Amino acid sequence: MWVGESNAGRNRCGWENGKTVARLLQKGEERGFPGMLGSLDCMHWEWKNCPTAWAGQYSGRHGGPTIILEAVASYDLWIWHAFFGLPGSNNDINVLQASNLFDNLTQGITPPAHYTIQGKNYDVGYYLADGIYPKWPTLVQTISKSEDKKKQYFAMMQEACRKDVERAFGVLQSRFAIIKGPARFWDKRTLHDIMTTCIIMHNMIIEDERDEQEDIIVSTPPSISNVEDIGMNDAERFRQFLTRHKKFKDKEAHFALRNALIEHLWERHGNEVILSSNVLSFLITCLAILYKFGEKSPNLQPQDPKMQLTAKNAVPLDLDAASKWRIGGRLEKL
């Protein structure tokens, strides 16, 4: 199942519109991720009345039988891609391999997504995903347990933007109670129709609430069918398919893109991160000096007589509590 943008809520692909891609690229640039088209993740829908013969196949880490929904959501919670129906025993990688998320990309019919990072030009967008997904240049994962401040900041920003799809799942379930609770139907086709209908109505609500007056800069025209493909034989067309397929699964290109994004984010916001870190260090130093000064000075008296500034109970003091102290009766707030 593929759900895309439509003026009438129809079930069709939304990436065909060049202005749509330009809007997503512009929003991604504003958030610090040039080339980002959305975030990717999976959701499990509990199947209460799953047939007994299928229970083992559809049961996974969630305990009971579930059906998986794979989705791509953008910054405004619009669901651009939805692939529904695989058993809950599959993980996210199995779902990705079975879905049609990159079919148009391998066929060479997707609109180009032109952007530049660190002076290098790119023409294929990417999605933000968690660590279980493969290292493809079309998927950018976070970095866990890194001591480098640049990578730590990249991980924080990536995880914040990746929450778009999680928020989309939450809003979808809050709007339609039928998919929030366990599914009580036996037929998979009925569940498929329910999920499709809910996603289309969800997108119609998002489209109705969207600000259509925002300025979108379309840097490149929408792509059209390549006229040269008409006279191309099957062997050449298949060779180009294999080339594109190999290109979007290149692990080295994945790490090159991620490293470029790390440097881009740090150049853009690194000074703010350093300043915030210095301010925090200064406040911690001031509090430490205050603790030591309070242990030696009899003029430091707390408003609350139950609080005694000693080494034993000085830890609970925070910034809000620190504003209540008086030093020599003259200092009301720090």
217 burial level (CB within 10 Å; 0-12, 13-18, 19+)? exposed
CA 115 to mean position of chain CA atoms: 19
pLDDT string in tens for the chain (334-residue length): 444 433 333 344 444 566 788 889 999 999 989 999 999 999 999 999 999 999 889 998 878 899 999 999 999 999 999 999 999 999 999 999 999 888 888 777 777 788 999 889 998 899 999 989 999 999 999 998 888 888 999 999 999 999 999 999 999 999 999 999 999 998 899 999 999 999 999 999 998 887 665 555 544 444 444 444 555 677 887 788 788 878 888 899 999 999 999 999 988 876 565 555 556 666 777 777 776 666 555 555 555 554 444 444 444 444 344 444 433 333 333 3
C-alpha to C-alpha distance for 211 and 198, rounded to whole angstroms: 22
Strand partners, 59: 65
C-alpha to C-alpha distance for 191 and 186, rounded to whole angstroms: 8
Structure tokens at 130: 């968690």
Q: How long, in residues, is the chain?
A: 334
DSSP label at residue 220: S
DSSP label at residue 305: T
How many other C-beta atoms are found inside a 10 Å radius of the C-beta of residue 56? 11
pTM of the model: 0.72
What end-to-end distance do the CA atoms of the chain give, in Å? Answer: 59
